[in-house]
Structure 1
Amino acid sequence: MSIDFSAPTPSPLSTQMKQLKHSVINQFEALDDPRVKREPKHKLVDLVTIAILAVLSGADNMVAITYGKAKQQWLETFLELPHGIPSHDTFSRVLALIDPTQLHECFNSWVEQITNQLEIKLINIDGKTARGSYDREKQLKALHTVSDWASEHHLVLAQQRVESKSNEITAIPVVLNLLDIQGAIITLDAMGTQRNIAAQILTVGGDYILALKGNQD
């Protein structure tokens, strides 16, 4: 039996790296680079990708984001990193300049792409108040958000802040619009059991499981 060594079969790991590289570049290269018009030392897509992966791994400050120095060899399998891993000062300066709305849109597109690949069919929508977000001295109310949550994969798919003078009813339609929910089942508590929300889900081809209170019909 002859064996062809000319075209080795790619390993699952190398295939995953190619998919990750394609998805990251495809979604985050659209970000406008806020730095001065000269050749930057570090590519913006590299900075953003490392920051996102670091936060997903538990990083909660700029120093922790430079965890990439310990993972540089792995990161170089799908990022260019022409000058290695940026310093925490570089991360702090560049991330502060990025348009947050544009970054949010790119991130949501990336998550939606992942969602489609995972074929998520059950999405829970719920509101949560961030612990410790209330600031008495600055008179800032606690941060309350509504999230699309894929419990099977332990993954937050989308999130929307609830404005201080509003409630979850106005935020739920926004998070629904952030995802392609065709063919998915959406679960909502009694707060989200509204005719217009149910109609919105059905209009785009989704279905729902709603919680009813005694005073709702």
Structure 2
Amino acid sequence: MIFLTIAAVLCGATGWKTINIFGEAQLDWLRQYRPFSNGIPTRHSIGRIIRGVKAESMMSCFINFSNTLRDRDGKEHISFDGKVACGSKHGDDIAALQLMTAMVVDNGLIIRQHETSTKTNEIPVMQSMLKHMDIENAVITADAMHCQKETATLIREGNGDYVLQREKESR
């Protein structure tokens, strides 16, 4: 069900009905990867099952899978950056989604991502991410906001190296 949903969304599906339509249209292709012995479930079943999946569990599984794809031959360059998700703000009631992302620069693989509540909250979020990542033999980069002693200490404790830029002082 998760495979069907991810494949459908990547191909432009925007709801349970369009996921079902995608599944019916692409059943032969889907069966190359999963049996779908009972065919494609109804849109109601798809919605019920996917709503029952905890987002944090799904993200953890995806990150673990992504980390198995990482190339560990040389020094890996991991870049941390905070961004606002385009189109995520809805009026005055719903604030824009802000994410801190850790990406392997050489292949564009996102290996960890975490929501931040504000731009200034990026520092503790990055530090928390570093505590839970394998950064051994990696070079970590981030913008000037992250030029913090605690951040550098966490990177060194994880046996990584860092390039953190300091903002130019005004004269």
Using the size of structure 1 for normalisation, the TM-score is 0.66
Greater fraction of residues in strand: 2
Matched-pair contact (CA < 8 Å) for 2:77–2:138: yes
Matched-pair contact (CA < 8 Å) for 1:112–1:179: no
Any unmatched runs of 5+ in structure 2? Answer: none
Any unmatched runs of 5+ in structure 1? Answer: 1-46
CA apart distance, 1:93: 1.6
Q: Which amino acid aligns with 1:112?
A: N
SS at match of 1:145: strand
Matched-pair contact (CA < 8 Å) for 2:123–2:145: yes
Please give the per-residue CA displacement for 1:150-209, whole angstroms capped at 9, x wherever unaligned: 233233221100024951101102332443221211111101111111111111121111
**Hey, what does 2:137 align to over in structure 1?**
183
**Hey, what does 1:208 align to over in structure 2?**
162
**Hey, what does 1:105 align to over in structure 2?**
60
State the alpha-carbon separation in 1 of the partners of residues 73 and 10 from structure 2.
18
Matched-pair contact (CA < 8 Å) for 2:136–2:159: yes
State the alpha-carbon separation in 1 of the partners of residues 132 and 43 from structure 2.
31
Tell me the percent identity: 29
- Report the number of matched residues: 168
**Hey, what does 1:194 align to over in structure 2?**
148
Q: CA RMSD in A?
A: 2.7
* Change beyond 3 A, Cα 1:112–1:59: farther
Between Structure 1 and Structure 2, whose CA radius of gyration is higher? 1
State the alpha-carbon separation in 2 of the partners of residues 103 and 210 from structure 1.
31
* Change beyond 3 A, Cα 1:62–1:193: farther
Equivalent positions of 1:1-217 (< 5 A) are 47-66=1-20, 67-115=22-70, 121-138=76-93, 140-164=94-118, 167-215=121-169
SS at match of 2:102: strand
State the alpha-carbon separation in 2 of the partners of residues 69 and 54 from structure 1.
11
